[in-house]
Amino acid sequence: MRMLTFLKLGGSLITDKRGDQSYRAEIMARTAAEIAQAYTPPLLIGHGSGSFGHVVAQRYGTAQGVRTAHEWRGFAEVSLVARRLNSLVLEALSAAGLPVIGFQPSASARCADGQLLSMESELIGRALSHGLVPLVHGDVAFDEVRGGTILSTEAIFVYLAERLQPKRILLLGEAEGVYGADRQIIARITPQNFPEIAAALGGSSGADVTGGMAAKVQAMLALAQRVAGLQIQIMGGSEPGQVAAALRGDLTFGTCIAAQ
């Protein structure tokens, strides 16, 4: 298999996280067109839940656990709105000409106290081998300790990366990268400088039950140390041309997450 890339379309990019189920159709259509323009297989795409899943999950406290009938109703509602956004993204990518196929994480994911233990990966690998573009997304998941929880796209990427061994992970969002205390983009984050910048990392400007930027950086930093030769870039996707440039190998903007 040639150089595998994981690409995340952040919820802050494709939705307005300050609203409720506010889908940015024009941005998604442009982003899909750029992906199709620069697409070289193999490619796996994931997307966040943004103002769809996060708003409902926050209302029911789904990430903390699902035990009562009311909370299980919320679990089902989060699943519903996550699928709703996923359908919109799937349609946009397909309309742009990409051979995309959806994989619903909650159909196979199993967690324990918020940590992903297992989910289907063999069939995703098979889809990649046939030149298809698997699409995953932030979702609910059954949890052995909490009953149910929220599974972030980053957690899915971490799990799949250890099994599929991508060479690049591109995380696109509304922000142009990771900002330091001086509001300047940090060019590179490693285990050596992370303690100095950790305090400056914030959460999200809208509803986000998966921890925001701080959690994202920590997860990717740990992954970079476990998967040899992995390039991870946190970057913006709002400016026309950025997505296509990144897929073609231009990683001169945004923040690089590296093992050293």
Q: Consult the annotation and say whether 17 binds a ligand.
A: no
Res 94 pLDDT > 70? yes
Q: Consult the annotation and say whether 238 binds a ligand.
A: no
Q: Consult the annotation and say whether 167 binds a ligand.
A: no
What contacts 229, CB < 8 A, 6 or more positions away?
A: 167
Instruction: Select from 118, 121, 140, 136 the least CA-distant residue to 6.
Output: 136
Q: Report CA-CA distances (Å) from 25 to 13, 67, 170, 172, 208.
A: 10, 35, 21, 16, 20
What does the buried/exposed string (b/e) look like for 169-186 if buried means 16 or more CB atoms within 10 Å of the residue's CB? bbbbbbbbbbbbeeeebb
- Helix segments in 67-191, DSSP class H: 69-95, 122-129, 153-164
Task: Tell me which residue has tokens 């199709």.
Answer: 36
pLDDT, tens digit, 9 for 90 and up, residues 194-209:
988 887 776 555 555 5
**If you average pLDDT over residues 104-108, what whole number do you get?**
98
- Tell me if 171 sits within 8 A of 139, measured CB to CB: no
Provide the token pair at 26. 């024009």
**Mean of per-residue pLDDT scores for the chain:** 93
Which pLDDT score is estimated for 233?
A: 97
Q: Consult the annotation and say whether 11 binds a ligand.
A: yes
Q: Consult the annotation and say whether 31 binds a ligand.
A: no
Q: Consult the annotation and say whether 12 binds a ligand.
A: yes
Residue ranges of domains in the chain: 5-257
DSSP annotation of 113 reads: T
pLDDT, tens digit, 9 for 90 and up, residues 166-178:
999 999 999 999 9
**Gyration radius (Cα) of the chain, Å:** 17
Fold of 5-257: Carbamate kinase (3.40.1160)
State the DSSP H helix or E strand holding residue 189, giving kind and residue range, or none if neither: strand 188-189
Q: Consult the annotation and say whether 54 binds a ligand.
A: yes
**If you average pLDDT over residues 176-199, what whole number do you get?**
89
